[in-house]
Amino acid sequence: MAISFRLFVPRNTSQLTPLQKKHRRTMSNPWNARFGLGHSLRFDETESGLVVGRIESDLCTGRVFLQGAHIAEFQPFHSEHPVLFLSSQSLFAREKAIRGGVPICFPWFGAHPMDAGQPAHGLARIRNWELLETRIESGDIVLRMGLDLPPFAIRYSVRFGKSLRYCFEVTNRSSSQQTFELALHTYLRLGDVHRAVVMGLEQVPFLDQLTGQVHSARGIPIRFTEETDRIYQGAAKMIVVEDPVYRRRVMLQSSDSQSTIVWNPWIAKSKRMADFGDDEYLTMCCIETANVRENRIEIGPEANHSTMVEVSVESMEKTT
């Protein structure tokens, strides 16, 4: 009697091991053929169907999701710790903002001004963006993404190198004047929030979003001792976050930003947020490069506006 053996190749993905599933998602991912850059940039799809680009170049590692054009990770090789904070509780789900990295708040900041049914911080961070181009430039990995949110057309260019650069460009495609708010909501990872010092906003007045009060410039650097949710109104081209625990300085250099939001949810709010760990407020703060409220942007027909941020990191030992 002849006995035949057949190799068991499961067709149904539910029969695959997690490793096989991951391999299949990477190999069959059409993004790699069109936009992959060898080992430096590979695309993968999460279980929930989100497309993610993973950067592993000679200069840094990083991660960017097409949903929200959301930079989720960045770590240059000269830095011992990741630069961006990413919550361990973040949902990586369709139409849900990722908690951490750099969400894009556009075309409104916070609650919608007229319609409470609209999502907080606008639509850009939960929409799927189109990937337009990837390239290697002087060793940096560059991704260009686009999104149409009528009447606006947006181009977002992200450059992963020794530093991380992101440039948000809006065009008004309508025949009338339009207004928008923008915040590039950067979550920074900290060794210990109690010991971090934020410099660069000493001369800028701010609105305390928790009390509704406007404060004149304090003249001193910011230290976190409680829930902090402030909109600073005035240009701050360079903000430096000193982190003595990680022994590093993180610098945020920006152009065309007239507002900066500084946020830390502290204890009670952290507990209320479902996608944020109860103690994670200890290891993060947000410095948001923005144009909001009285500094929202008005642009005429076919006009452009762009805002750029560069995040870099240096060791504190070097300069002290």
Instruction: Please give the residue whose beta carbon sits closest to ligand BG6 in the complex.
Output: 120
Convert 137-163 to b/e letters by CB count within 10 Å (16 or more is b).
eeebbbbbbbbebebbebbbbbbbbeb
Tell me the closest approach of the beta carbon of residue 109 to ligand BG6, in angstroms: 7
Tell me the closest approach of the beta carbon of residue 304 to ligand BG6, in angstroms: 25
Which residue, 99 or 144, has its beta carbon nearer to ligand BG6?
A: 99
Tell me the closest approach of the beta carbon of residue 100 to ligand BG6, in angstroms: 10
Which residue, 31 or 92, has its beta carbon nearer to ligand BG6?
A: 92
Tell me the closest approach of the beta carbon of residue 114 to ligand BG6, in angstroms: 18
Cβ count within 10 A of residue 29: 18
Which residue, 55 or 72, has its beta carbon nearer to ligand BG6?
A: 72
Tell me the closest approach of the beta carbon of residue 249 to ligand BG6, in angstroms: 23
Tell me the closest approach of the beta carbon of residue 204 to ligand BG6, in angstroms: 16
Distance between CA 30 and CA 61 in Å, rounded?
22
Which residue, 210 or 316, has its beta carbon nearer to ligand BG6?
A: 210
Which residue, 158 or 184, has its beta carbon nearer to ligand BG6?
A: 184
Which residue, 35 or 224, has its beta carbon nearer to ligand BG6?
A: 224
Residues that bind ligand BG6 (CB under 6 A): 97, 120-121, 185, 209, 229, 261, 263, 288
Which residue, 67 or 172, has its beta carbon nearer to ligand BG6?
A: 67
